[in-house]
Chains A and B, each alone.
Chain A
Amino acid sequence: MTEVSLPNLLRPHAGGQRSVKVEGATIGEVLETLQAQYPGMSGQLVTADGQLHRFVNVYVNDDDVRYMDKLDTKVRTGDIVSILPAVAGG
Chain B
Amino acid sequence: MRSVLDLIGNTPLVDVSELSPKPSVQILAKLEGQNPGGSVKDRIALSMIEDAEKRGLLSQGATLIEPSSGNTGIGMALVCRIKGYKLKVVLPGNVSIERRQLLELWHAEVIDSPAGEGSNGAVRMAQQLATQHPEWVFLYQYGNPANPRAHYEGTGPEIWRDCPEITHFVAGLGTSGTLLGAGRFLKESNPRVQVWAVEPPAGETVEGLRNLDDGYIPPIFLDQKGADLLDRKTVVGPGASIEWTRRLADLGVFAGISSGAALAGAVKCASSIERGTVVFVSSDGGWKYLSTGAWTDELDVVVERARRIIYF
A-B interface pairs (CB < 8 A), number: 105
Q: What are the residues of chain B within 8 A of A7 when measuring CB–CB?
A: 203-204, 209
A63 in the interface, Cβ–Cβ < 8 Å? yes
CB closest residue in chain A, given B240: A62
CB <8 Å contact, B235 and A82: yes
Query: B218-236 toward A: CB 8 Å interface, digit per residue (1/0)?
Result: 1000000001001111111
* With A44-B212, A55-B215, A63-B234: A89-B175 Cβ-Cβ less than 8 Å: yes
Which B197-227 residues have C-beta < 8 A from chain A? 199-204, 207-218, 227
Question: Given A62-B236, A66-B227, are A89 and B200 neighbors across the interface (CB < 8 Å)?
Answer: yes
Instruction: Check A90–B72 contact: CB distance below 8 A.
Output: yes
Chain A binder among B99-107, B116-124, B295-303: B116-124
Determine if B185 is an interface residue (Cβ-Cβ < 8 Å). Answer: no
| Count of interface residues, chain B, beta-carbon cutoff 8 Å | 45
User: A67–B173 Cα gap in the complex (Å)?
Assistant: 14
Q: Which of A57, A63, A82, A86 has the most CB of B within 10 A?
A: A86
Nearest-neighbour CB distance to chain B for A68, whole angstroms, equals 8
Q: Are A84 and B235 in contact (CB under 8 A)?
A: yes
A48-90: which residues lie under 8 A (CB-CB) from chain B?
A: 53-57, 59, 62-64, 66-67, 82, 84-90
Nearest chain-B residue to A88 (Cβ)? B119
Q: Mark B38-77, 1 if CB is under 8 A from A, else 0.
A: 0001000000000000000000000000011101100000
Nearest CB of B to A21, in Å? 19
CB-CB contacts below 8 Å: B175-200 with A = 175, 177, 199-200
- Number of contacting residues on A, CB 8 A? 23
Complex Cα gap A90–B120 (Å): 10
Residues of A at the B interface (CB closer than 8 Å) are: 7-9, 44, 53-57, 59, 62-64, 66-67, 82, 84-90
25 contacts between A and B (CB under 8 A): A8-B204, A8-B207, A8-B208, A9-B211, A44-B211, A53-B212, A55-B212, A55-B214, A55-B217, A59-B234, A59-B235, A64-B233, A64-B235, A67-B232, A86-B215, A87-B203, A88-B119, A88-B216, A89-B69, A89-B173, A90-B68, A90-B119, A90-B142, A90-B175, A90-B177
